[in-house]
RNA sequence: GCUGGCGUAGCUCAAUCGGUAGAGCACCGGUUUUGUAAACCGGCAGUUAGGGGUUCAAGUCCCCUCGCUAGCUCCA
């Protein structure tokens, strides 16, 4: 079930086929760590019959594909253990995933508990200890259906029925035949025997919909992971622990950056230190906007719902919009001659009239564009907006700063001609890469998301828009992948997937091609030919939202903001209260030079002050005592470089100022 | 929204079977005057998220609401 590979020619060439194991053995390549081979473009395990003359390469337990084989095999062992411990539980699917595997179960009664996981894990270890081989068997569709119908495995029956006619159906068994054998319909591949599974761990349990559709019944999903060795598993668990330590919600509290309160669910309160970082990010972008030719506007917060009816958002995204009512809306408007045919429906009336908090900036920018006659000479017009947006996100999806109900995008729209699109994309990409380099986020994968099934606009229009984005990428000479059907309903988009220090990938910035809004707002410019033309609109954001970017960046840098972004760049620590006067003069000098400095003049011992300062991860700690006062120095301890020794005050000031601008 | 889990002082966490709500940090006061990762003493701090119920007795058991959380679904 790893993938839906094809194997339609098995009947014709049976005579010359041998198990992959024999093929590997014949070539003298069989060793303990071989779990599968790659041949004819697919991965098959050692149980699978292959052409005896096939060319192949071996896949070892430590190879990427080998680990997938191990994980999927572990999923089988887990399902075996679950069905043994919880009779009546039905199996569904159990694929290998990025960090491990899962298996979805239909369990009668209550779900699995943490204690259940421990029990299941122990039973799995028993199965592994018995080291029985995985056995592969090819059966007919009817044999497979009969077997799983008899077992009452209704989900498996559904899966078998969905396998296309003519495709080979294989079963995999492990355990002792006639005794404790376990069978699953499965395409493989699997490891040779259960004993190959040396390092397994169940991690969590959660609900998941059958076939990923929320209209379907919810199943119980158990997540686990497996590695070729105990050491690799431990390293993985260590990384998870590290990620927990860097969780931006934890760092936000520790560093006094932001917090949440029940009075405004999923809406962050930025404290002074967090607000500084937030504003510094915005300032950074504003500076780049000067360089890249953007103009910033400020637009209203709340709008007559007519605006969103024009844009098409009302109706489609009604349930995600915050609406405002005012006292006067609660009364029925006076009808014509005081007579009304239908009773007053307050709900409908409010829906029609109450203002909406803007969930995006684009409609306002269309209003601005359309507010007067425009010339082709004005294009491309790049209009930026740091407006506050609100979206009522469903309860289960909000998460720290990464998914909130009020946020700010580093939003801009580019109104231009069709011909200008590739050039604009290239220009955006240049800025995008400059920004991410400045944050040392340098591994970026680009995906071109193309037309989805549910969409508006003609195929010709989509052909043109997708071509424009593609040409932009090609012009910038950047590699990209296609994400078929992943585009927005109104146009294709570029997604930027950014990898952080812990090798996790995040989608942050975006660029979207939108031929829809200019149409709906009937936007026009006068061309060189004196005639009216429809402009094209590009939506784009570099960071995405400030909030989400901050969550990713916090975890990326572990709270160690670079000097240019740190809310406090240096903290003065006096050795004793006797040095307060000198410390104060250092503090004032730094501040007078525009350095963000603080001081700890408390009666704590120096060790305690250093410890406190380290918790806040200030880039510089400046120890001052009688010796420094005497020499006019500060003893500098750098967060990143350690003890730098005594330094003249002017030298320190120069050093910090040199680090106070973002890298370019 | 769905399936689980959780909610105790500003923070991190205790509280046995349903039997007097407690500790460290932070904060406030005092002692100490310190040279590179936590000095010492004392004090303040709680409608145990909110509401209802069971019970002689509820932080603990049951129900509802709110919030958080792991996933699922969603993300214009």
Q: What is the mean pLDDT of residues A94-122?
A: 89
Active site residue A391: yes
A78 neighbors A103 (Cβ within 8 angstroms): yes
Residues 239-258 of A with CB under 7 A from strand B: 249, 253
pTM as predicted? 0.91
A201 neighbors A121 (Cβ within 8 angstroms): yes
Q: Answer yes or no: is A558 CB < 7 A from strand B.
A: no
* pLDDT exceeds cutoff 70 at A233: yes
Residue A11's pLDDT is: 43
Residue A254's pLDDT is: 93
Active site residue A533: no
User: Which run of H or E residues covers position A309?
Assistant: helix A305-311
At residue A57, φ and ψ (nearest 5 deg) are: -125, 145
Residue of A107, A221, A390, A413 marked active site = A413
**Residue A156 is encoded by which pair of tokens?**
């498996």
What is the Cα–Cα distance from A413 to A79, expressed in whole angstroms? Answer: 51
Q: Answer yes or no: is A496 CB < 7 A from strand B.
A: no
What is the Cα–Cα distance from A257 to A259, expressed in whole angstroms? Answer: 7
Judge if the upstream peptide bond of residue A380 is cis by omega within 30 degrees of 0.
yes
Residue of A90, A107, A362, A420 marked active site = A362
In terms of pLDDT, which residue wins out, A310 or A111?
A310
Strands A443-449 and A481-483: parallel
What is the Cα–Cα distance from A294 to A321, expressed in whole angstroms? Answer: 28
* pLDDT exceeds cutoff 80 at A335: no
Residue located via tokens 């498996």:
A156
**DSSP structure class, residue A583:** H
Which of the nucleotides lies closest to A397 (Cα–C1')?
B74
* pLDDT exceeds cutoff 70 at A12: no
What is the Cα–Cα distance from A239 to A243, expressed in whole angstroms? Answer: 6
* pLDDT exceeds cutoff 50 at A2: no
Q: Answer yes or no: is A55 CB < 7 A from strand B.
A: no
CA distances from A508 to A322, A390, A497 (A): 24, 18, 7
Q: Strand B: list positions under 7 Å from protein Cβ.
A: 1-5, 11-12, 31-39, 66-76
Residue A150's pLDDT is: 94
Whether the complex's predicted ipTM surpasses the cut of 0.90: yes
Active site residue A628: no
Residue of A68, A220, A409, A420 marked active site = A409
Q: What is the 3-state secondary structure (H, E, C) of A62-102?
A: CCHHHHHHHHHHHHHHHHHHHHHHCCCCEECCCCEECCEEE
A185 neighbors A157 (Cβ within 8 angstroms): no
Distance, Å, A206 CA → B51 C1': 30
* pLDDT exceeds cutoff 90 at A458: no
Quickly state the pLDDT bin for A147 (edges 50, 70, 90): very high
Residue of A104, A116, A184, A411 marked active site = A411
Active site residue A403: no
What is the Cα–Cα distance from A11 to A20, expressed in whole angstroms? Answer: 17
pLDDT over 70, % of chain A: 97
* pLDDT exceeds cutoff 50 at A547: yes
Lowest model confidence (mean pLDDT) among A245-254, A290-299, A474-483: A474-483
**Residue A210 is encoded by which pair of tokens?**
């059958």
Residue A344's pLDDT is: 83
Residue A240: count of CB within 10 angstroms of its CB: 13
Residue located via tokens 């409010």:
A350
**Mean of per-residue pLDDT scores for chain A:** 91
Residues 179-218 of A with CB under 7 A from strand B: 204-209, 212-214, 218
Rg of chain A over all Cα atoms, to the nearest angstrom: 31
Among all protein residues, pick the one whose CA is nearest to the C1' atom of B73: A214
Residues 380-399 of A with CB under 7 A from strand B: 391, 393-399
In terms of pLDDT, which residue wins out, A316 or A133?
A133
A220 neighbors A37 (Cβ within 8 angstroms): no
Q: Answer yes or no: is A110 CB < 7 A from strand B.
A: yes
* pLDDT exceeds cutoff 90 at A630: yes
Among all protein residues, pick the one whose CA is nearest to the C1' atom of B36: A607
Quickly state the pLDDT bin for A257 (edges 50, 70, 90): very high
Residue A214's pLDDT is: 87
Residue of A539, A556, A596, A637 marked active site = A539
Sequence length of chain A is: 664
Residue A454's pLDDT is: 81
Q: Closest by alpha carbon to A90, among A215, A194, A219?
A: A219
Tell me what percent of chain A is helix, strand and coil, each rounded to the nearest 5: 40, 25, 35
CA distances from A83 to A89, A108, A350 (A): 6, 12, 54
Residue of A358, A391, A427, A637 marked active site = A391
**Top mean-pLDDT range of A163-177, A309-323, A399-413:** A399-413
At residue A87, φ and ψ (nearest 5 deg) are: -60, 145
Which of the nucleotides lies closest to A613 (Cα–C1')?
B37
Residues 128-147 of A with CB under 7 A from strand B: none
Residue A118's pLDDT is: 86
* pLDDT exceeds cutoff 70 at A193: yes
User: Who's near A435: CB < 8 A, 6+ residues apart?
Assistant: A284, A285, A288, A542, A543
Lowest model confidence (mean pLDDT) among A209-218, A249-258, A383-392: A209-218
A225 neighbors A239 (Cβ within 8 angstroms): no
Quickly state the pLDDT bin for A360 (edges 50, 70, 90): very high
Active site residue A409: yes
Residue A263: count of CB within 10 angstroms of its CB: 7
Question: How many angstroms from the chain centroid is the CA of residue A15?
Answer: 49
Which of the nucleotides lies closest to A254 (Cα–C1')?
B11
Active site residue A493: yes
Quickly state the pLDDT bin for A7 (edges 50, 70, 90): very low
Q: What is the mean pLDDT of residues A436-465?
A: 90
Give me the helix-helix angle, A141-151 and A154-162, nearest 10°.
160
Residue A337's pLDDT is: 56
Active site residue A411: yes
Among all protein residues, pick the one whose CA is nearest to the C1' atom of B40: A604
Judge if the upstream peptide bond of residue A189 is cis by omega within 30 degrees of 0.
yes
């Amino acid at each position: 079930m790893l993938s839906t590979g094809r194997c339609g020619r098995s009947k014709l060439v049976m005579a010359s086929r041998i198990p992959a194991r024999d093929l590997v053995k014949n070539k003298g390549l069989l060793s303990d760590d071989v779990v599968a081979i790659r041949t004819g473009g697919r991965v098959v395990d050692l149980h699978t019959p292959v052409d005896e003359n096939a060319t192949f390469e071996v896949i070892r337990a430590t190879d990427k594909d080998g680990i997938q084989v191990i994980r999927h095999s572990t999923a089988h062992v887990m399902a075996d253990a679950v069905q043994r411990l919880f009779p009546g539980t039905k199996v569904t699917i159990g694929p290998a995933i990025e960090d491990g595997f899962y298996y979805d179960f239909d369990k009668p009664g209550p779900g699995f508990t943490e204690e259940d996981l421990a029990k299941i894990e122990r039973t799995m270890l028993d199965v592994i200890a018995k080291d029985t081989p995985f056995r592969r068997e090819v059966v007919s569709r009817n044999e497979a259906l009969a077997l799983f119908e008899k077992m009452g495995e209704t989900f498996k029956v559904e899966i078998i029925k969905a396998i296309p006619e003519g495709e080979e159906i294989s079963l995999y068994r492990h355990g002792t035949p006639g005794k404790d054998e376990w069978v699953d319909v499965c395409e493989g591949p699997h490891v040779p025997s259960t004993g190959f599974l040396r390092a397994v761990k169940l991690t969590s349990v959660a609900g998941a919909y059958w076939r990923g559709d929320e209209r379907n019944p919810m199943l119980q999903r158990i997540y686990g992971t497996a590695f070729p060795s105990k050491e690799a598993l431990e390293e993985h668990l260590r990384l998870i622990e590290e990620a927990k330590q860097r969780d931006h919600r934890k760092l936000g509290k520790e560093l006094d950056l932001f917090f949440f309160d029940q009075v405004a669910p999923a809406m962050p309160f930025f404290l002074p230190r967090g607000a500084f970082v937030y504003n510094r990010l915005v300032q950074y972008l504003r500076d780049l906007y000067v360089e890249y030719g953007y103009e910033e506007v400020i637009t209203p917060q709340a709008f007559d719902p007519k605006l969103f009816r024009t844009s098409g958002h009302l109706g489609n995204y009604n349930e995600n919009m915050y609406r405002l009512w005012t006292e006067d809306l609660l009364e029925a408007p006076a009808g014509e001659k005081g007579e009304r045919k239908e009773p007053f429906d307050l709900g409908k009336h409010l829906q029609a009239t109450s203002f909406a908090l803007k969930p995006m900036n684009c409609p306002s920018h269309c209003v601005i564009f359309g507010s007067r006659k425009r010339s082709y000479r004005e294009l491309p017009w790049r209009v930026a907006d740091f407006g506050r947006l609100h979206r009522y996100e469903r309860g289960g999806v909000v998460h720290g700063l990464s998914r909130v109900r009020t946020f700010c995008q580093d939003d801009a729209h580019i109104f231009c001609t069709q011909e200008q699109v590739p050039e604009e994309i290239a220009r955006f990409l240049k800025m995008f890469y400059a920004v991410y380099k400045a944050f040392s986020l340098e591994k970026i994968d680009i995906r071109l998301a193309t037309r989805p099934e549910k969409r508006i606009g003609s195929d010709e229009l989509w052909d043109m828009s997708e071509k424009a984005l593609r040409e932009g990428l090609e012009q910038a000479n950047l590699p990209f992948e296609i994400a078929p059907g992943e585009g927005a309903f109104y146009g294709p988009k570029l997604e930027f997937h950014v990898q952080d220090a812990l090798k996790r990938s995040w989608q942050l910035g975006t660029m979207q091609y939108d031929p829809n809004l200019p149409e709906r707002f009937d936007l026009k410019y006068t061309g060189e030919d004196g005639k009216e033309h429809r402009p094209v609109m590009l939506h784009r954001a570099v960071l995405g939202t400030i909030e989400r970017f901050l969550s990713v960046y916090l975890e990326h840098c572990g709270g160690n903001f670079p000097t240019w972004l740190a809310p406090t760049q240096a903290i003065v620590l006096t050795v004793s209260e006797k040095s307060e006067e000198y410390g104060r003069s250092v503090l004032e000098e730094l501040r007078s030079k525009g350095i963000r400095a603080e001081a700890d003049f408390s009666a704590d011992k120096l060790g305690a002050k250093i410890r406190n300062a380290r918790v806040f991860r200030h880039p510089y700690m400046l120890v001052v005592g009688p010796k420094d006062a005497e020499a006019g120095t500060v003893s500098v301890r750098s967060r990143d470089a350690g003890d730098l020794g005594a330094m003249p005050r002017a030298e320190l000031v120069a050093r910090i100022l040199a680090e106070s601008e973002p890298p370019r």
